[in-house]
């Protein structure tokens, strides 16, 4: 399934140093940069004590995790969209898989974009995040974040200084897991998946979200290298490594790819149009799709 079907440069070790002055928010610059390169998703930070928006198209992540009426309404949107776009009804577990993907992909960016751009890792518990899928908006209250020694943001309330890059990567893994664990509990029964299968999907959302955004930022190679370090094979509860590899076309051009740890089940609607990173897609088909994509 393409990204367009799913959703209405600074720093790293190489390119981005911490800002010279202490910002009002440790993540504001990161979310602003995300909106610049990907206008389909905008993040608003909530003030201390401000409740996450609710109703009128907004849904909180903890409501999705509860698995009740809020999740029913969320998945009804996917069911209607599938009928409209593909002219066919999908199985309930397929609809739930689409719905989780459409939530988790942007939700992971709340953590991974500040990490990638400014080496800051916010904690975003499910109760502090809301999503408006039709507008492509997220609202989040950042109460706590991790950063490296020497970051001016270490003087801000809620800062926790960690000693090095590996410790910061551990914070990324923990922050994403803290947010997604209750969400997976809500979606799991609808998807008929448990444990490893759900966390395989979470692994793919972490990797493919920041990989895509880094491409928009012109930093795809750095993102791939950092994702390999972020997700080694042993990083539980995540499933498998980032797993990038390179394909070479007959004309000598090379293209990065990876094999997803999970399947979004889009093939059940369009068997001939599997995702380019789907394990069901052979390398010959991947090369055909990659080499004929716009801008290839």
Give the 3-state DSSP-derived string for 188-214, with helices as H, strands as E and coil as C: HHHHCCCHHHHHHHHHHHHHHHHHHHH
Q: Sign of torsion, CA 205 3 127 47?
A: positive
CA separation (Å) from 239 to 19, 174, 232? 35, 14, 9
Q: How confident is the model at residue 97 (pLDDT cuts 50, 70, 90)?
A: very high
Mean pLDDT of 224-233: 96
Q: What percent of the chain has pLDDT over 70?
A: 92
Provide the 10 A C-beta neighbour count for residue 155.
8
> What is the pLDDT at residue 272?
78
pTM for the full model?
Answer: 0.90
> What is the pLDDT at residue 15?
38
Q: How far is CA 217 from the centre of its chain?
A: 16
Mean pLDDT of 205-218: 97
Mean pLDDT of 99-124: 97
DSSP string, 66-112: HTSHHHHHHHHHHHHHHHHHHSS---HHHHHHHHHHHHHHHHHHHHH
pLDDT at 194 over 80: yes
> What is the pLDDT at residue 7?
44
> What is the pLDDT at residue 145?
98
Provide the 10 A C-beta neighbour count for residue 14.
10
> What is the pLDDT at residue 233?
87
pLDDT at 1 over 70: no
* Peptide bond before residue 237 is cis, with ω within 30 degrees of 0: yes
Mean pLDDT of 224-228: 97
Segments of the chain assigned E as strands: 42-45, 58-60, 120-122, 129-132, 137-140, 145-147, 159-161, 244-248, 254-258
Phi, psi of 129 (to 5 degrees): -130, 135
DSSP 127: G
Distance (Å, rounded) from C-alpha 27 to C-alpha 5?
Answer: 28
Which uninterrupted H or E stretch holds 32? helix 28-37
> What is the pLDDT at residue 18?
41
- Specify the higher pLDDT residue, 269 or 126: 126
Residue 57 in contact with residue 132, Cβ under 8 Å? yes
> What is the pLDDT at residue 280?
84
Of 35-44, 49-58, 110-119, the range with the lowest mean pLDDT is: 49-58
Angle between helices 220-230 and 195-217 (to 10 degrees): 150
Q: Sign of torsion, CA 191 193 197 202?
A: positive
Mean pLDDT, the chain, whole residue set: 89
CA separation (Å) from 255 to 1, 31, 290? 19, 28, 7
pLDDT at 76 over 90: yes
């Amino acid at each position: 399934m393409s990204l367009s079907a799913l959703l209405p440069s600074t720093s790293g070790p190489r390119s981005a140093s911490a800002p010279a002055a202490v910002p009002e928010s440790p993540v504001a610059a990161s979310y602003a940069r995300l909106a610049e390169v990907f206008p389909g998703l905008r993040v608003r930070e909530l003030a201390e004590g401000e409740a996450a928006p609710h109703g009128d198209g907004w849904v909180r992540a903890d409501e999705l995790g509860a698995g009740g009426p809020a999740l029913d309404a969320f998945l009804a949107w996917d069911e209607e969209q599938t009928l409209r776009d593909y002219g066919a009804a999908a199985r309930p577990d397929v609809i739930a898989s689409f719905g989780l993907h459409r939530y988790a992909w942007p939700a992971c960016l709340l953590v991974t974009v500040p990490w990638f751009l400014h080496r800051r890792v916010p904690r975003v518990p499910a109760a502090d995040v809301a999503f408006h899928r039709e507008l492509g908006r997220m609202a989040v209250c950042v109460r706590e974040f991790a950063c490296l020694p020497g970051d001016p943001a270490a003087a801000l309330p809620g800062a926790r200084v960690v000693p090095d890059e590996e410790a910061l990567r551990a914070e990324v893994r923990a922050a994403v897991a803290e947010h997604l664990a209750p969400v997976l509990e809500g979606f799991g029964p609808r998807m008929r998946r448990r444990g490893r299968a759900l966390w395989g999907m979470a692994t793919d959302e972490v990797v493919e979200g920041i990989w895509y955004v880094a491409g928009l930022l012109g930093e795809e190679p750095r993102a791939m290298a950092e994702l390999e370090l972020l997700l080694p094979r042993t990083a539980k509860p995540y499933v498998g490594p980032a797993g990038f590899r390179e394909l070479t076309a007959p004309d000598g051009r090379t293209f990065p790819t990876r094999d997803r740890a999970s399947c979004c089940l889009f093939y059940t609607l369009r068997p001939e149009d599997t995702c380019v990173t789907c394990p069901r897609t052979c390398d010959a088909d991947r090369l055909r799709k990659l080499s004929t994509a716009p801008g290839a």
